[in-house]
Structure 1
Amino acid sequence: MSPHGERWTRDRVLALAPDKASRAAGERLAAAGRWSGTGAGGGAVWGMCEGGDGARYGTVVDLDGPAFQCSCPSRRFPCKHALGLLLRWAGGEAGEPARPGDGPAAGGEPPPWAAGWLAARRERSDRPPGGTGAGGPGVGGSEADGAGAASRAPADPEAARRRAARRMQRIAAGATELEQRLEDLLHSGLAAAGPAAGAAARTGADDPGGGRGSWEETAARMVDAQAPGLASRVRELSAIATSGPDWPSRLLEECALLHLLDQGFLGIDRLPPPLAATVRARVGLTTDAADVRSAPETVTIRDRWLVLAQQDGAEGPLTARRIFLRGERTGRMALHRSFGGAHRPLEVSLPPGLLLDADLAYYPGARPLRVALGERYAPAAPGPVPTGCGTDAALAAYGHALRDDPWLDAWPVVLADVTPIPGGAGGGWQLADADGESALPLDPRCLGRPALWQLAAISGGAPVTVFGECGHRGFLPLTVWDPAPVSLSP
């Protein structure tokens, strides 16, 4: 019997692994006889593991986050010791009960070194031991989602207001400079941004305004203007010229969207508040999760949220985690984003298939999607296979979202009863409806990746339920149900 009524499955534990090396190391530790003092109770699992050098590492896992603490020097979260401990607690494949002596025993009190960390964490999270009270899912691992975020409010509100005003002025100056850069490109012609200009830049020849080097310089100027969102879009322009046939059309489209974003920011005072919030987010102005939760205009919804996907990726020096959810009652989509680094672990982890009874506070915007985690009313539990729609409805959902946010690359959707169709010579893959009347192309970024063959193998030519992002590039699959959820490899 687990602290939450049932043990986790092996797959649920392995879904927490930050990389393949940690996963393999955790599996080895789970089978090794190096553990002592293991136990489980009150929503936590703990144990001591003897390392190869004779050192002993104390490991404790708060199952309600989950959150992890280990005395080892690893910078990965969870580390191999936490994974190994959880695997021993899981007790075998498909969540079968542990054999006597095989893993942490249920019940009992944690030792002082584990109890101290658990008490401090739960006090910061403002929730009682056992984990069904208020509070976020982790401390320090989520972008301003951890407890204590409100304590980071500026000591001098007037100084903060002046800093914010100065940043707005810098971004406005950067947007004005970018407008001039786009105007110069149109006067000189799109050929100036073509492959020939990029080759000239690589060989040190003159780059009159269109090559990759010029775009990189412009992106650096946007970084100096404290507009990382503009910088990211400028860098995307630099790669379009080498993206294959019909690149001038794609370049013109992206330049038009960038021009629209510039003009939106320069006239932000005249925009409706939701659209103004979207523009601010697109240029790179962020809002703390604590401020989102406390704002009087914030839309906060309690529902039972089904976790549809969890995806990690690199964003500069940080690791970014995206968790997609859908409300059981409301049907609303939600996206939780968090960031981790060497000294800022990713503690918020919600593997696909879990059902979370919680409050989600939506960030402001013309088409709200991103959320901050609020109060959680019960531990996460396994959820059902989600209902879905056909390919035509998926395209319509993206179109409706695009109407509100023209800079939106994709919108999350669940497709039901679709069959993956491998592409022929020179052709792309598709997801076809069961009736064969409609099909949706897969995002070209999937091509050559293991995810496609995973999807085809799980389907076996039969219809499946797939969650992913539907956008102008096509459909990017993230999770498939078989009937349990399977995260597709990036």
Structure 2
Amino acid sequence: MTQQGVRWTADRVLALAPDDASREAGRRLGAAGPWSGAGGSEEGAVWGLCEGGGTEPYRTVVDVTDVSGAAYRCSCPSRKVPCKHALGLLLLWAEGEGRVPRGQPPDWAERWIAARRGRAERERPAGASGAAAPPADPRAARRRAERRAERITAGATELERRLADLLRGGLAGVQQAGYGLWEETAARMVDAQAPGLAARVREAAAIPSSGSGWPARLLEECALLHLLGRGWLRREDLPDGLAVTVRSRVGLPASPDGPPLRDHWLVLAQYDTGDSRLTTRRIWLYGAASQRTALLLSYGAAGRAPDLALPAGLALEAEVTAYPGPGQLRAALGERFAPPAHTSVRPPGLTTSQAAARYGDALRDDPWLDAVPVTLDRVVPVPDGDSWQLADADADTALPLTAAARARSGLWRLVAVSGGGPVKVFGELGHQGFTPLTVWPADGGEGTAVPLC
């Protein structure tokens, strides 16, 4: 991914941290004091010995040529990836050769580097032109798909009945019924092999305790659940594109099937969400030539950052392959042709009115879409009572910020970068408002992207 001569920035290193505690601990170790024998190679490896709580210093080595961003090995007992020692070593390396000089890796580092690169080299041909897998039985695959469709149909039918019972009895008693009613319904959807329906049921379960106005929000969510259930039951009557969207929304798996698209992709934003079981990383890309926006998803176990890391402000030449469905933005990252590098290129922007129209257009293809990615040009963050909005500097229109955006510290970075003047902002726009993810300083300048999440 890079060579020793192409050093990362501190922001790019800290974007790899699995959590805030690791980020702070990594900063403390990003100084020469605890390190000895630190070095780096032309081939993209960095290593060092870090004094810790044990009798022997921890051996830390990082391979920054890994396709997913970086690979790590440390003898410390931490289960976080990367651990604070790997972060500290990378921060030290980012400061230049004065801190981490070039050299030959010690035996322990060289063995690990050679072993993992040897594995990668052996696996690469197998993925492309290795021995063919035994041919799948198409009739067996068709029978499995039919059995799953039957289960989902039974689940959707049951969900329709439960929604009808809920609305017939009225929403007043929903709070008293508690979470158990919803969890039992979600469990039935899991049994029906419809994880998408189960996830929406669990989201509805949280609405009665979400504050003032919850009955209207719950009614909206029940309407969308009903629409999805009916969409599945009538999927044969739907246009092909909408039928693909319904299958995806109920939880049927899909694979990227479009032709690979090679482009210079700008990294617009990267952020993580998680629950008790999984960490999901979302990376938004914009193709400079194709003008396509693409979403990369990667996953890690709970509490651990996914391997793929592409902080905002980078650009890379690579191929991406789209997933099926109209308006589908998710894509799979394919071959990379050059290492990611910082860029001053910015995506084109929209007015606030154009952005709202884009979200409306997207709902035709996917009525269950929570938000669309948009870049707003020449907007100013301004307070609006107890809330904030992004006002168009050249028109009398504005978009409200979501409650989640207002609660983040990134809002104050946005205000600071703006300084009361217009900025370019990338984020996600949905029915609850706009969530800013990245901001660029005053238009016409050469400042780099500033992450807000």
- Whether TM-score is above 0.5 comes out as yes
| Structure 2 equivalent of residue 57 of structure 1 | 59
What's the offset of the Cα at 1:434? 0.9
What's the offset of the Cα at 1:18? 1.5
Code of the aligned partner of 1:261: L
Within 5 Å, give how 1:9-158 maps onto structure 2: 9-31=9-31, 32-36=33-37, 38-55=39-56, 56-64=58-66, 65-72=68-75, 73-91=77-95, 97-99=96-98, 102-103=99-100, 105-106=101-102, 108=104, 111=107, 112-123=110-121, 126=124, 157=137
User: In 2, distance between residues paired with 1:249 and 1:154?
Assistant: 53
Match 1:376 to one of 333, 336, 341: 336
| Structure 1 equivalent of residue 182 of structure 2 | 215
Taking a change above 3 Å as real, the CA distance of residues 473 and 258 of structure 1, as seen in their structure-2 partners, is same
What's the offset of the Cα at 1:122? 3.2
| Structure 2 equivalent of residue 390 of structure 1 | 351
Q: Is the contact made by 2:279 and 2:304 (CA closer than 8 Å) also made in structure 1?
A: no
| Structure 2 equivalent of residue 131 of structure 1 | none
Code of the aligned partner of 2:168: H
| Structure 1 equivalent of residue 177 of structure 2 | 201
Give deviations 1:409-443, integer Å, cap 9, x for gaps.
1000111211111232xx42100011251100111
What's the offset of the Cα at 1:48? 3.7
Taking a change above 3 Å as real, the CA distance of residues 35 and 29 of structure 1, as seen in their structure-2 partners, is farther
User: In 1, distance between residues paired with 2:408 and 2:350?
Assistant: 25
User: In 1, distance between residues paired with 2:237 and 2:42?
Assistant: 56
Code of the aligned partner of 1:485: A
Q: Is the contact made by 1:61 and 1:82 (CA closer than 8 Å) also made in structure 2?
A: no
User: In 2, distance between residues paired with 1:119 and 1:368?
Assistant: 35
User: In 2, distance between residues paired with 1:274 and 1:216?
Assistant: 31
Code of the aligned partner of 1:413: V
| Residue 240 in structure 1 maps to residue 201 in structure 2 | no
Taking a change above 3 Å as real, the CA distance of residues 156 and 299 of structure 1, as seen in their structure-2 partners, is closer
Taking a change above 3 Å as real, the CA distance of residues 74 and 308 of structure 1, as seen in their structure-2 partners, is same
Percent identity, aligned pairs only?
53
Structure 2 unaligned residues grouped into runs of 5+: 442-446
User: In 2, distance between residues paired with 1:344 and 1:30?
Assistant: 21
| Structure 1 equivalent of residue 220 of structure 2 | 253
User: In 2, distance between residues paired with 1:474 and 1:343?
Assistant: 28
Taking a change above 3 Å as real, the CA distance of residues 37 and 459 of structure 1, as seen in their structure-2 partners, is closer
CA RMSD in angstroms comes to: 2.8
What's the offset of the Cα at 1:89? 1.3
Higher relative contact order structure (alpha carbons within 8 Å, sequence separation ≥ 6): 1
SS state at 1:447 partner: helix
Taking a change above 3 Å as real, the CA distance of residues 124 and 469 of structure 1, as seen in their structure-2 partners, is farther
| Structure 1 equivalent of residue 287 of structure 2 | 327
Q: Is the contact made by 2:195 and 2:250 (CA closer than 8 Å) also made in structure 1?
A: yes
What's the offset of the Cα at 1:68? 1.4
User: In 2, distance between residues paired with 1:349 and 1:245?
Assistant: 39
Please report the TM-score for the alignment, with normalisation by the length of structure 2: 0.88
What's the offset of the Cα at 1:4? 6.2
Taking a change above 3 Å as real, the CA distance of residues 45 and 122 of structure 1, as seen in their structure-2 partners, is farther
Q: Is the contact made by 1:418 and 1:464 (CA closer than 8 Å) also made in structure 2?
A: yes
What's the offset of the Cα at 1:184? 1.9
| Structure 2 equivalent of residue 399 of structure 1 | 360
Please report the TM-score for the alignment, with normalisation by the length of structure 1: 0.82
| Structure 1 equivalent of residue 421 of structure 2 | 462
SS state at 1:429 partner: strand
User: In 2, distance between residues paired with 1:362 and 1:281?
Assistant: 14
| Structure 2 equivalent of residue 164 of structure 1 | 145
What's the offset of the Cα at 1:16? 1.5
User: In 2, distance between residues paired with 1:218 and 1:38?
Assistant: 56
What's the offset of the Cα at 1:401? 1.1
Q: Is the contact made by 1:388 and 1:416 (CA closer than 8 Å) also made in structure 2?
A: yes
User: In 1, distance between residues paired with 2:308 and 2:14?
Assistant: 15
